[in-house]
Structure 1
Amino acid sequence: MAGKGTPGTALLAKQRVPHTLHSYEHDPRAASFGLEAAQALELEPARVFKTLLADVDGSLTVGIVPVTAQLDLKALASAVGGKKARMADVAAAERATGYVAGGISPLGQRKRLPTVLDTSAIEFATLFCSAGRRGLEVELAPDDLVRLTNAVVAPIATA
């Protein structure tokens, strides 16, 4: 896919991880970028995951949850041995990851951050997450996502 490369897709290629890129026409007016991706690609929303950043005891931490859920900040903090978490400032998240909000990929981030993947992800043979650009999703096995991000798998999503 010429012109579609991101640090996340470069990492996947370098590590020779089986994956498939899926692009769609992003609407900047979309209320939820994740739900927009699920709808545009005709996917079960529970298989589409969003990458969120939180400040856990002063350190940025990545939480990856289904687009149909919210990030349970207390559970995220607990999963990384922290006490208190709050959503990270958007500018701080963009600086740390090198990606624009709404297109933050858990893969190929500028800084290696502690990462937690919601347990619901392991129910699927493959999941979808941002490939590093709005309108570009990557499909890969949850085990590969865990390995590449050194993620902890824990229940961090809430309805």
Structure 2
Amino acid sequence: MAKKKQTTGTGGTPATVALEQARIPYAVRAYEHDPATESYGLEAAEALGVDADRVFKTLLVDSERGLGVGIVPVNTLLDLKAVAAALGAKKATMADPKVAERTTGYVVGGISPIGQKKALPTVVDESALDFDTVLVSGGKRGLDLELAPTDLLQITGGLTAPIARRA
């Protein structure tokens, strides 16, 4: 994979800046975002021609231990009980979208697990390790970043656990 494939007009985001500073190889994967879409992650997978199992969404959860991040394939659901356990909490709920935006510095539908304003405990679904590379949001709608799952874990300080479940 090339160090970076910059697509004209995508601009830098805190996520790309963080990856550059950490010298982590990644590829920019931009696509035309449809504002009428209901599933940002599935839109990305289809627009980029990538198996939805390799495209991961970033979800914020809230627990008695505070906010945390769960990263799961876009064609699955976040298992709140499993992510709570992985974060060392008794239970977790989805974080309020406004809190998620304020805490991460990104808009819903474009929340990247990389380069967030505040570092949060992060759990990546273990299925990410089945792939050479995965895609995550690059920090805005219509922009994904492709990188090795081990690099995703490194840059987020995350751990893996079985936190995804099929609908």
> Is the 2:10–2:30 contact (alpha carbons within 8 Å) kept by the matching residues of 1?
no
- Deviation per CA, 1:41-67, whole angstroms, max 9, x where unpaired? 000000000000010215111000000
- Taking the TM superposition and a 5 Å limit, the aligned residue runs for 1:17-56 are 17-56=24-63
2:10, 2:151 → 1: CA distance?
Answer: 24
- The percent identity for this pair of structures is 56
What is residue 103 of structure 2 aligned with on the other side?
A: 96
In the TM superposition, structure 1's runs of 4+ consecutive aligned residues that sit over 4 Å from their partners are: none
Identify if the C-alpha distance between structure 1 residues 132 and 64 changes in structure 2 by more than 3 Å, giving closer, same or farther: same
Which runs of structure 2 are paired with 1:105-124 in the superposition (5 Å)?
A: 105-124=112-131
Distance 1:52 1:3 in 2: 23
Aligned counterparts of 1:4 and 1:144: Cα–Cα separation in 2: 22
Q: Structure 2 unaligned runs (5+)? A: 1-5
Which residue identity lines up with residue 85 of structure 1 in the other structure? A
- What does residue 152 of structure 1 align with? 159
What TM-score do you get using the length of structure 1 for normalisation?
0.98
Number of equivalent positions: 159
**TM-score computed with the length of structure 2 as normaliser:** 0.93
2:96 maps to 1:73: no
